[in-house]
Structure 1
Amino acid sequence: MIMEFKYKICLCMFLLLVGEGFGQLSSNFYDSRCPGAVSTIKRMIKAAVAKEPRMGASLLRLHFHDCFVNGCDASILLDDNANFTGEKTALPNVNSARGFDVIDDIKSELENICPATVSCADILTVAARDSVVALGGPSWNVKLGRRDSVTANLEGANTDLPGPFLDLSQLVTAFASKGFTASEMVTLSGAHTIGKVQCFLFRDRIYNEKNINPAYAAVLKVNCPATGGDTNLASLDVTTPDKFDNAYYTNLIGLKGILHSDQVLFPADLSSTSHQVFTYSVLSFKFFSDFAAAMVKMGNLSVLTGNDGQIRTNCRIVN
C-alpha cells in the first residue's frame, strides 16, 4: 500500500512537471514554459507585415511548404549540411521561399527570454496565423508543442508540393495524399488572395490559355513579356493584393485567376468546385470559417511531439 501510494505521488508530480501537452499538442503548452512566447511572435509578425505586407503571404506559404513535406516540423528552415541537402533548393522553394530572416529574428528573441524552449515548428505555425490576421483575415486556435525535425526531405519537397500548372484532378489528388478533401483544397487555395508570383509561372497562361479575361491578360503581359522577365512579379489577387479577403474567388469568376491551378477551380462547365467558388465569392464569412478550420488541420500534419525530434536553438541547423 505504501509503495503504491508513493508511486501515485510520483506519477502526479511528473504530470504536473511536464504539464498538459506532453506527447500531444496543447492550447496552453507555453503558459508555464514560456508565458511570453505567443505574444512575442504576434508582436514581431505584426511589425514585419506592417513593414512589408507581402511578408505575410511569404510566411503563410512557408508554413504550407513545411507541412506538406514530412509534416509541420520546420524542416524547410534547415540549411544544407554534410548529412543532407535541405528543402530550400527544391524547385518549388528555390529563389521563391522567403521569410527565413523573420523566423530567425523571432527565434533569437525567444531564445533570449526562454532558451531552448520554443520550437521553430511552433513559431512557423503561429506566424502563419498571425500573418493572416495582420492582413485582415480570420484567426484560429493554434495548439502548440511541436518539435523540430533533425533532417530535411529534398525529394519530398520536389514531389509533394502541388505546382501552379496542375489541373483540377491533379490538385485533388495532391491534397488527398495529405488527407484533405477536394473542398478543403479549394478553401486552402484561397491563400492566394495575398502574395505575388513570378512571371515564368503564369506566362503560358496569359499567352496561350483561352479561359482568361483578355483585358487582365493584356495588363499582365506588360510586365511579363513572351521572352525574358522571368522573375518579374505580379499579384496573385489583382483586386486587393495586400488584404486577406474573398476577392480571390471573385477574380476566378471573372476569369482573373493568375495561375492555371487557380482558374481550374472554376471550370467553364460550372461543374465540380464551381459552386464552392461562387459561395465564397459572396459569403466571405463562410470562406473565413472554412479557411481557419483547414489551417488547424494543416498545422496538425504529422507533427513531432514528446521526445521526438528536438527544440532547435537555431532554426537553420540541427543542435
Structure 2
Amino acid sequence: MDSKYSIQFSILPLFFLLLLSPSVYCQLDYYYYDNTCPDLTRIVRYSVYSALWTDARMAASLLRLHFHDCFVDGCEGSVLLDDTSKFKGEKNAFPNRNSARGFEVIDDIKANVEKACPSTVSCTDILTLAAREAVYLTGGTYWSVPLGRRDGKTASEKSANEQLPAPVEPLQNITARFISKGLNAKDLVVLSGAHTIGFASCANFKNRLVNFKGSGKPDPTLDSSLLQNLQSICPKGDGSSDPNLAPLDPVTTNQFDNVYYKNLMNNSGLLQSDQILMGDSNTASMVINYSNYPYLFYQDFGASMIKLGSLGVLTGQNGEIRKNCRVVN
C-alpha cells in the first residue's frame, strides 16, 4: 500500500473496557466470536485494506456509514437495507442520498465472512469492525470492539431525515441530538474528529462562501486563503458545482490524526458544524486539548466509538443474522 496511508501497528493501551457501563457488558462481549468465527478480525481487516488500496476515500466512508447507522434508531444495520414494498430505507434519506458510500465493501466482507462462518456474524458487527479498521489502517488508534449485535428487520427514511444532524445546524441543536442518544458534548467534539479524513461536497458548505446567514458576505470565521480555494472549487452558479468535493482536512487528508483540531484553531474547519466548536468555551477548550495532545484524542476517540457502537443494539433473540446485508432474511 502507498505510504500515504501511514499504517501504524502500535496499539495504545486498551483500558477502554473500564469506561463501559455495566449494561453494555451484559449485552455485548469482546470475545463473542472467538469460538464461532475466530478469523473474523483478520477477514475484515484484509477486506478494508484492499478497499483502501483502490480508494483512499473509503476509510472515511465506512466510518461515516457506521455513524449514520448507529445514530438512527441504534446500531442494527438499518442503513445497509435497500427499499422494499414494506418500507423506505435510509439510503435515500437526505443525509445519505448520493453521499453514503461503502455498501459494496460491506457486501464483500459479508460474503467472505459467510464462507468462513455461515449465518454467524451480523452485518451490524461487520460494519462496526470495518469502521475500527478504517481508522486503524489510516494511522489512527485501535480499540477493542465488543460484539454480539444482531441485525434489525426494518429501516426508516423518515427517521434518518429527522435524527441525523445537519452541517448547518447550530451547536446547541447538534449537542441536543447527541444527548438524546445517550452521548454528550465531549463525544460530539471527539467524534467530530473523524473529519480528519474524508471529503464533503460543495452542497454541504457553500452557504459559508457567499451569503452566510443572509449577510451577503462569506462566513467571517473562515480563513481567507481557504475561502479563496473553496470558491474556486464551488463557483457561484446554478448548483452545478454542488457535487464537487473538498477535503475535510486539506493538510493530512488521508491520515487519521489530530490535525483537524489544529485546523479549527486556524479557522480552517470546512463545515459550519466543525468550526462552531470554537464558538463555545466548553467545546473550544476540548478542541485546544486535542490539538495539543494527540494521544488524548486517540484515547477518547476509541472510548466514544465504543459508546456509539453500543447505542440501541439488538442482542439475544432480537433481530436476526442477515445472510445478505441489503435485505432481511
| Equivalent residue number for residue 45 of structure 2 | 42
| Equivalent residue number for residue 260 of structure 2 | 248
Structure 1 distance, partners of 2:248, 2:290, is: 17
Give 4+ residue runs of structure 1 displaced > 6 Å after superposition.
none
2:310 aligned to 300, 307, 310, which one?
300
Residue 95 of structure 1, CA deviation:
0.2
Whether 1:232 and 2:244 are equivalent positions in the alignment is yes
Unaligned runs of 5+ in 1: 1-20
Residue 206 of structure 1, CA deviation:
2.2
Amino acid at match of 1:165: V
SS at match of 1:197: strand
CA contact (8 A) 1:53 1:135 kept: no
What TM-score comes out, normalization by structure 1 length? 0.91
Amino acid at match of 1:102: V
| Equivalent residue number for residue 166 of structure 1 | 169
Whether 1:70 and 2:73 are equivalent positions in the alignment is yes
Amino acid at match of 1:108: A
Deviations 1:228-279 (A, max 9, x none): 3110000011111100000100000100001110000011xx6231111111
Deviations 1:144-201 (A, max 9, x none): 1100000002111001111100111111111111111111111110010000000111
| Equivalent residue number for residue 17 of structure 2 | none
Q: Aligned residues, how many?
A: 297
Deviations 1:51-96 (A, max 9, x none): 2111000000000000001111000000001110110010000000
Structure 2 distance, partners of 1:120, 1:109, is: 12
CA contact (8 A) 1:23 1:306 kept: no
RMSD: 1.3
Unaligned runs of 5+ in 2: 1-23, 211-217
| Equivalent residue number for residue 112 of structure 1 | 115
SS at match of 1:136: coil
Whether 1:133 and 2:130 are equivalent positions in the alignment is no
Structure 2 distance, partners of 1:206, 1:77, is: 34
Amino acid at match of 1:34: C
Residue identity (%):
49
| Equivalent residue number for residue 143 of structure 1 | 146
CA contact (8 A) 1:22 1:305 kept: no
Q: 1:49 to 1:248 in 2, by over 3 A?
A: same
1:282 aligned to 278, 282, 292, which one?
292
In our comparison, the structure showing a higher alpha carbon Rg is 1
Structure 1 distance, partners of 2:295, 2:53, is: 24
Deviates more, 1:31-40 or 1:136-145: 31-40
Deviations 1:105-146 (A, max 9, x none): 000111111111110000000000000001100011101110
Amino acid at match of 1:67: C
